Amino acid sequence: MSLVARLLLGLSFVALGAFARGQDAVEPLDEASAGELRAALAQATQPAAPGGILAVLRRGEPCFVQPFGLAELERHEPITRTTIFYLASVAKQFTAACVLHAAAAGKLALDEPITKRVSGLPASYGAVRIVNLVEHRGGVPDIYDLAIGLDLGRAALASNASALALLRKLPQLDFTPGTRFRYSNSGYVLLAEALGVATQSSLAAYARANLFAPLGMKSAHFNGDAELAKLPRARSYHRAGDAWEALEITTGLIGPGGMWASLDDLARWERAAFEGGFGDAALRARLVQPPVLGPLAWLHPTLGAYGAGVMLNTDRGLPVVRSAGEAFGFQAEILRYPEQELSIVVFANADLELDNLAEDTAGVVLREEFRAAREASARDASSSARATPADLARFGRFWREEDSGVLWVLSLKPERMLVTSLGDWKFELAYAGPARLVSRDTRAPAEFVFEPASGPATRMLVRSGGVEVARCRPHPFPPAQRAELDELAGEYTLTALGVTIRLQAVQGGLQLAQPHALGPNYVLPPFQALGEDFFACDAGACLQFHRDAAGELTGLRMDVNRASALELVRR
User: Are residues 293 and 146 part of one domain?
Assistant: yes
User: Are residues 222 and 100 part of one domain?
Assistant: yes
pLDDT value of position 17? 38
- CA-nearest of 261, 247, 258, 235 to 157 is 258
Does the residue 338 lie in any domain? no
User: Are residues 243 and 110 part of one domain?
Assistant: yes
Sign of the C-alpha dihedral computed for residues 540, 546, 551 and 554 taken in this order: negative
For 528-547, write each residue's pLDDT tens digit.
998 889 999 878 889 999 99
Under DSSP, the state recorded for 208 is I
Does the residue 361 lie in any domain? no
User: Are residues 262 and 397 part of one domain?
Assistant: no
Does the residue 367 lie in any domain? no
- CA-nearest of 527, 509, 528, 561 to 147 is 561
Does the residue 332 lie in any domain? no
Does the residue 203 lie in any domain? yes
Number of structural domains found in the chain: 4
pLDDT value of position 540? 80
Does the residue 327 lie in any domain? no
For 64-115, write each residue's pLDDT tens digit.
999 999 999 999 999 999 999 999 999 999 999 999 999 999 999 999 999 9
For 92-101, write each residue's pLDDT tens digit.
999 999 999 9
pLDDT value of position 2? 36
pLDDT value of position 316? 81
User: Are residues 280 and 149 part of one domain?
Assistant: yes
Answer with the one of 474, 506, 530 that is the final residue of a domain. 474
Does the residue 190 lie in any domain? yes
Q: Report phi then psi at 195, rounded to 5.
A: -60, -45
User: Are residues 510 and 439 part of one domain?
Assistant: no
Contact criterion met (CB below 8 Å) for 50 and 236: yes
Under DSSP, the state recorded for 189 is H
E strands in 199-329: 221-222, 237-240, 243-246, 259-261, 305-306, 311-315, 318-327
User: Are residues 262 and 155 part of one domain?
Assistant: yes
Question: What is the helix, strand, coil percentage profile of the chain, to 5?
Answer: 30, 30, 40
CATH of residue 507's domain is 2.40.128.50
| Angle subtended at Cα 44 by Cα 42 and Cα 46, rounded to the nearest 5 degrees | 80
- The whole-angstrom separation of Cα 36 and Cα 60 is 22
Can you give the residue range of the structural domain that contains 50?
3-76
Task: Mark the ranges of the chain whose per-residue pLDDT is less than 70.
Answer: 1-25, 293-302, 373-385, 422-425, 441-445, 465, 480-483, 514-517, 519-521
User: Are residues 152 and 215 part of one domain?
Assistant: yes
Neighbours of 215 (CB within 10 A): 18
CATH of residue 244's domain is 3.40.710.10
pLDDT value of position 299? 61
Answer with the one of 260, 287, 305 that is the final residue of a domain. 305
- The whole-angstrom separation of Cα 509 and Cα 485 is 7
- The whole-angstrom separation of Cα 194 and Cα 59 is 33
CATH of residue 422's domain is 2.40.128
* Burial of 80 per CB tally in 10 Å (0-12, 13-18, 19+): middle
Q: What is the largest CA-CA distance in the chain?
A: 80
pLDDT value of position 46? 81
- Side-chain half-sphere of 326: how many Cα atoms within 13 Å? 11
Cis peptide before 452 (omega within 30 of 0): yes
DSSP bridge partners of 222: 259
pLDDT value of position 302? 65
User: Are residues 447 and 467 part of one domain?
Assistant: yes
User: Are residues 282 and 216 part of one domain?
Assistant: yes
Answer with the one of 442, 474, 506 that is the final residue of a domain. 474
User: Are residues 94 and 63 part of one domain?
Assistant: no
Does the residue 353 lie in any domain? no
User: Are residues 456 and 421 part of one domain?
Assistant: yes
Question: Pairing between strand 407-413 and 416-421?
Answer: antiparallel
pLDDT value of position 371? 82
E strands in 257-341: 259-261, 305-306, 311-315, 318-327, 330-337
